[in-house]
A and B are shown apart, each in its own frame.
Chain A
Amino acid sequence: MAESDNIVVETAEKIFADLADPQTINNDKKGAWQAPLWQALSEAGLPLSWVPDDLGGSGASLADGFALLNAAGRFAVAVPLAETMLAGWLLAQAKIASPEGEMTVLPASPKDRITLDADGLLSGRTRGVPFAKTAKHFAVLARGKDGVSVALVDAAKARIEAGLNVGYDHSDTVTLDKVQPVALKAAPKGLDQTTMMLMGGVARSLQIAGALESMLDISVRYSNERVAFEKKISKFQAVQHNLARLAGESAAALAAATSAADAIASARAFDDEVYLEAASAKIRCAEAAEKGGAIAHQVHGAIGFTMEHILHRYSLRALAWRDDFGSESHWAVELGKLVANRGADELWPLVASR
């Protein structure tokens, strides 16, 4: 997933660099930067990367889409790019064409459920839905008595209680009360809520890893500029060691996230090995967000704690992304159960499976 040899990532990075410069965004309190950015991303076909041509998308590979999300994380962009990509992916699984405009997916938490009744109507309440407030459509995974279905829902049909996550981005509660979907199809075999949560979790892992890369970058740069006690603070061994730890957390997050993305992109099915990869990525990236973010703030001193500084755009989002599609606690419990259930002698063969 090197930045240089991927046309999707190159295109996205150019757009981000032009239209989503963190300092510009940070100074623009009214959010006027969002519309041109979204328009540019849409014109480049990026939000529907994971949707095949015949369903209205640009048909990029899973691998390219994941690399794109990592790049989006490096810029900590607060537009529903990941959400629209996930929604398009989910709809495409059931051969439902994607509409234009912002989308997000329901549910966004492993504990919430949307149900499909015998009349083909959708009901349920789901919390922590990223960008529900700005989405035009929802891609919904629903359970009915005949199994799992995928639906496209007009966002205007839902009741939305707006909320903000710890990174000041939309994280809303969505209630569907006997809503008629725009389109509804049975999910293919093997697609269930766990699969969707793992996909979302890996998307968030790549974004967290990207944000950590940027935190490392700006922290190293700042330590080489800031002078204290008549020395650049980068010359203090304690600061060097902190930055080395931040580099380690950033590297671990990126390794876990890219490995999981690679596993999904090349998997035939969501088997135990993919589960290990995806769950581990979310757990490890969330831990890295906590440890790495703390170091980045420590290096920046009080300046990094101000709204004027760009650091919070990365650090708070990385912390917020921990909560979407299952927190690290959730996945740790689930992964622990899986490991225990397979038995002690199967642990190493699972870890060493590739």
Chain B
Amino acid sequence: MTAALRFDPIRLPEKCEQLRKEVRAFLAEEIAAGTFDPHKPNREDTDAPEFSRRVGAKGWLGMTWPKKYGGPERSFLERYVVTEEMRVANAPTRRFFVADRQSGPVLLKYAPEHIKMEILPRICRGEICFAIGMSEPNSGSDLFAAKTRATKTDGGYLINGTKIWTSSAHIADYMIAIFRTSPPTKENRRHGLTQFLVKMKQPGIKVNPIGQITGQYEFNEVVFTDFFVPDDHVLGEVDGAWKQATSELAYERSGPERFLETYYVLTELVRAVGPNPDTRSAEGIGRLVAQLHTMRRMSVSVAGMLEAGKEPVVEASIVKDIGTVWEQQLPHRVRDLAAFVEETATNRETLERQLDFAIKTAPKLTIQGGTTEVLRGIIARGLGLR
């Protein structure tokens, strides 16, 4: 009778709580050793290759993957716990996160066996970094407008064109990208795109960093000029990438990274307010915590659906829509409440520094990984409106 979407109240099993303790202990050691400062958001372009290797050595990368590819065959819920603890601690995850969340699963599904054997264990060891080449100039969320051409040649394809907004391309070892192998057909404008594994740092690729309003250089323009990709680097069906891209997005859209990117300002606000808050601060904090808690319950629930082998595309879109709108508003709500914080609060400077960065970060949160408008279109489709 109902169009409503149900998010069952999944509880994390005991083994997750044990793992959480291990992750917290590991992060505490890393912080003590000076690898990163949990009170400083990822302001600089923290590469942290050694940190990645140590995370890999713990068995916390490619956690759900088969043992023969270097994965420990653990559950999505265990992976979830590792992700949220890393995120909350402000750990430098950029180098491995895309490979772990997205690129690895794509390779698992679509790459030829010898490529899987070559690359997946290296991801699990934290040795290599991935970028995702989807957006192009004049085609961001409109994936199917991509124009960068892959032209068939002897033994492979020649790539010509430009990808843009490509996070981590400047440090990436590989990119998984979609290129146009055929024009779209009249019946299907999604036809004609193919997914490729691209080895970076080769002749024919030029990576140009793009400055962000946060002051960081995280994403890039990537220009391909007669760049050669061998045949065995085609991932899945030629001209059929559109079928592959949508299920990939469920992984990208519902994780804890979709509502925790500005979380640090809330912790620091609670610290600044102290144990006996005034009514207004208490109310503000209470509302924010209630919203955070609700989103986490929804996000954990989607992780449970993934664990059960479902493809919760609409549910994941709802989590990302609500989650990113929330994490975008969070620094502004914390700023409202910070106006009442005592001048003498011990962490006042930290809070102000964090707010400065979070407010600059906020505008991108509802854009990256699928804009709010695109997500609402997916939800509307799920409601049977289109």
Contacts and interface: CB of A to CB of B under 8 A. Distances in A.
A255 B297 contact: yes
Contact of A240 (B284, B301, B380): B380
A295 to B, nearest CB: 12
B6 interface: yes
A335 B293 CA distance: 12
Interface in A48-95: 74
Contacts of A197: none
B385 interface: yes
Contacts of B285: 332, 335-336, 339-340
Residue among A245, A263, A281, A340 with the most chain B CB within 10 A?
Answer: A340
A179 to B, nearest CB: 34
Interface stretch (B52-60, B220-228, B275-283): B275-283
Interface string A318-354: 0000000000110111111101110111011001101
B274 A213 contact: no
Interface string B352-386: 00000000000000000000010111011011111
A252 B294 contact: yes
Contacts of B81: 352
Contacts of A185: none
B286 A333 contact: yes
A289 to B, nearest CB: 14
Contact of B301 (A255, A334, A341, A352): A255
B286 A334 contact: yes
A1 B6 CA distance: 9
A332 B283 contact: yes
B383 A244 contact: yes
Contacts of A217: 1-4
B3 A247 contact: yes
Given A240-B376, A241-B380, A347-B289, A250 B266 contact: no
B377 to A, nearest CB: 7
A161 B373 CA distance: 50
B5 A280 contact: no
Contact of B4 (A250, A261, A341): A250
Interface in A208-267: 212-214, 216-217, 220, 223-224, 234-235, 237, 239-241, 243-245, 247-248, 250-252, 254-256, 258-259, 261-263
Contacts of A280: 289-290, 293-294
B3 A258 contact: no
Contacts of A262: 9, 11
A338 to B, nearest CB: 8
A156 B385 CA distance: 53
Given A240-B386, A255-B294, A340-B274, A248 B322 contact: yes
B283 A276 contact: no
Contact of A331 (B2, B8, B286): B286
Interface in B172-221: none
Interface residues of A, number: 62
Nearest to A284: B294
User: How would you classify the secondary structure of chain B's contact residues: helix, strand, loop or mixed?
Assistant: helix
A258 B286 contact: no
B11 A234 contact: no
Contacts of B306: none
B293 A277 contact: yes
B48 interface: no
Contact of A235 (B276, B284, B386): B386
Contacts of A243: 380, 383, 385
A247 B386 CA distance: 15
A220 B383 contact: yes
Contacts of B9: 255, 258-259, 261-263
Interface of A: 1-3, 74, 212-214, 216-217, 220, 223-224, 234-235, 237, 239-241, 243-245, 247-248, 250-252, 254-256, 258-259, 261-263, 276-277, 279-281, 283-284, 287, 328-329, 331-337, 339-341, 343-345, 347-348, 351-352, 354
Given A1-B8, A220-B384, 17 more contacts: A214-B2, A216-B2, A241-B373, A244-B379, A247-B3, A248-B379, A251-B318, A254-B5, A256-B294, A263-B9, A332-B283, A335-B290, A336-B281, A336-B284, A337-B277, A340-B277, A348-B267
Interface of B: 1-9, 11-12, 20, 81, 84-85, 88, 266-268, 270-271, 273-277, 279, 281-287, 289-298, 301, 315, 318, 321-322, 373, 375-377, 379-380, 382-386
22 contacts: A1-B6, A212-B4, A235-B385, A240-B376, A243-B383, A247-B379, A248-B322, A255-B297, A256-B297, A284-B291, A284-B294, A329-B283, A334-B282, A335-B285, A336-B281, A336-B287, A337-B277, A337-B282, A339-B289, A340-B270, A344-B267, A354-B11
